[in-house]
Structure 1
Amino acid sequence: MQLTSEISGLFVGKPQQRWEGKPPSAISKKQVDAPLELTKTGFTTDEQADKKVHGGPEKAVHHYPAEHYEFWRAQGFDTHFEFTPGAFGENISTSGLTEELVCIGDIFQLGTARVQINQGRQPCWKLNMHTDFKMMALELQKSGRTGWYYRVLTPGTVAMGDELRLVARLHEDWPLAKVIAARFDKNLSAETATQLAAIEAMAEGWRKYFAKKAGGDFVEDQTSRLIGPTGDADRKTEPA
């Protein structure tokens, strides 16, 4: 299968103390025009504030489809935030690749590097603060338009205009949109969860989650991730 796109945006950032009483964040990233070195843990000039949940080998690069921003602009959320490529803290922006078109485990040539899709994004409360819309993380999750993460199989150099080309498809029966929907489905069947837990190309954290779902009535509490660590009134909203 031929599947290619062109890198139209490269974004990196450093942690900043942006919100009083809240942990720092590196979600605000800037576009760079110079080529970037990509290592097993991400671009050398990109940083994360909380490395327990961001970055690392299983979240080395975040890719967000540029065409999704038109959808977000059309929602008319009560915010002055500009929904433009790079706005959600992604590292890579392209057009023509979406969660419906790629599959879990897909291997791509990215510049001179080689990368593999291993999970979707689990949006967190920092996106709410960043966009000045308190339900943004939940809306992103409900939409399925989360983008995805790559692990780096072969380090290399990546530049604006480089081709992103599919070189191997390991799980054609599992489009990423289907996997993401399963990840956030509270009523996911044990049979489907068992199948997903067996996909070795998937990130370890996602495989462990599906293994728990396969084993019984496990229900994940998403409140802290989606709403935040505080005990404010927003917690009254039940995450979907």
Structure 2
Amino acid sequence: MKIDVTALCAGQPQPFNGAEMSAIDKRPLAGTVAIRSFGLAGDMVADTEHHGGPDMAVHHYPRDHYAEWDAWLGGHDLLSRPAAFGENIVAEGLTEDAVHIGDRFRLGSALLEVSQPRKPCWKIEHHFGRKGMVARIVKQHNCGWYYRVIEEGAAQAGDTLERVEIGHAVWNVAHVFAKFYDPAHKATRKECEQLAALPRLSDELRGEARARLQT
């Protein structure tokens, strides 16, 4: 599977909500972009407690969802430009039900591996100025995902994102998201055991699955 990447985006922490800082406002990068173990060169994380690190180095949110968001929001200026959801990779043709934990993708000379779904937070709603978006993501599982960087490299807008290896085929991103975050699809004990044992799932979520087994 190959899809075209229309933009690679990065952002710097900026005042967001009073004293709160955020780098959700990302903009396209020109030319060749270095992709390091911590993410795209020029991209930074404001909240290092909940974002960033090797398992959340690169964020991908499918542009496929923009039209439905536009209809639900009744139109929004943010959706007319790249990275409305703070994503690093802007592309269409790949969604959460078709991407599995552990899938590996070649982007330019870098090799990326899907590590976990993105957990939505209040910053999305503040960014758009609209309540109810987090609840909609939880219900529809249109969450986006993170990659870890297996091989550092470089890429640019116009490159292809090519899947070169299927990971944990039973656990696509939407399925994993539902089991962790959607109360209507709460994970069973057996599913928690399976998630805790997935070697390519992020350390954070494997730890969360183990914690649930203790309760």
Runs of 4+ aligned residues of structure 1 deviating over 6 Å after TM superposition are: none
- Measure, in 2, the Cα distance between the counterparts of 1:129 and 1:159: 30
Q: Secondary structure at the match of 1:96?
A: coil
**Number of aligned residue pairs:** 212
Unmatched 5+ stretches in structure 1: 217-240
Q: Which amino acid aligns with 2:92?
A: S
- Measure, in 2, the Cα distance between the counterparts of 1:153 and 1:61: 11
1:13 aligns with 2:11: yes
The Cα of 1:81 is off from its aligned counterpart by: 4.6
Q: Secondary structure at the match of 2:168?
A: coil
Alignment of 1:76-87 (within 5 A): 76=73, 80-84=76-80, 85-87=82-84
- Kindly indicate which of the two structures has a greater share of residues assigned to strand: 2
Aligned to 1:221: none
Q: Is the 8 A contact 1:117 1:151 kept in 2?
A: yes
The Cα of 1:83 is off from its aligned counterpart by: 2.2
Aligned to 1:98: 95
Q: Which amino acid aligns with 1:198?
A: A
Alignment of 1:15-164 (within 5 A): 15-19=13-17, 21-76=18-73, 80-84=76-80, 85-164=82-161
TM-score, with structure 1 as normaliser: 0.84
- Measure, in 2, the Cα distance between the counterparts of 1:64 and 1:114: 18
C-alpha RMSD over aligned residues: 1.5
- Measure, in 2, the Cα distance between the counterparts of 1:142 and 1:150: 23
Q: Is the 8 A contact 2:26 2:83 kept in 1?
A: yes
Aligned to 1:189: 188
* Residue-by-residue CA offset, 1:34-73 (whole Å, 9 max, x unaligned): 1110100001110111111111211100001111111111
- Measure, in 1, the Cα distance between the counterparts of 2:126 and 2:182: 25
- Kindly indicate which of the two structures has a greater share of residues assigned to helix: 2
| Structure 1 pair 80–65 and aligned structure 2 pair: CA distance change class (3 A) | closer
* Residue-by-residue CA offset, 1:76-127 (whole Å, 9 max, x unaligned): 35x8453243101000011111111111110111110001001000111111
Unmatched 5+ stretches in structure 2: none
- Measure, in 1, the Cα distance between the counterparts of 2:140 and 2:206: 22
Larger mean Cα displacement after TM superposition, 67-76 or 135-144: 135-144
- Measure, in 2, the Cα distance between the counterparts of 1:179 and 1:199: 11
* Residue-by-residue CA offset, 1:134-159 (whole Å, 9 max, x unaligned): 33233223221111000000000011
Aligned to 2:172: 175
- Measure, in 1, the Cα distance between the counterparts of 2:34 and 2:91: 18
Aligned to 1:228: none
- Measure, in 1, the Cα distance between the counterparts of 2:46 and 2:130: 21
Q: Is the 8 A contact 1:11 1:32 kept in 2?
A: yes
Aligned identity (percent) is 37
Q: Is the 8 A contact 1:191 1:214 kept in 2?
A: no
- Measure, in 1, the Cα distance between the counterparts of 2:19 and 2:143: 23
Larger mean Cα displacement after TM superposition, 149-158 or 26-35: 26-35
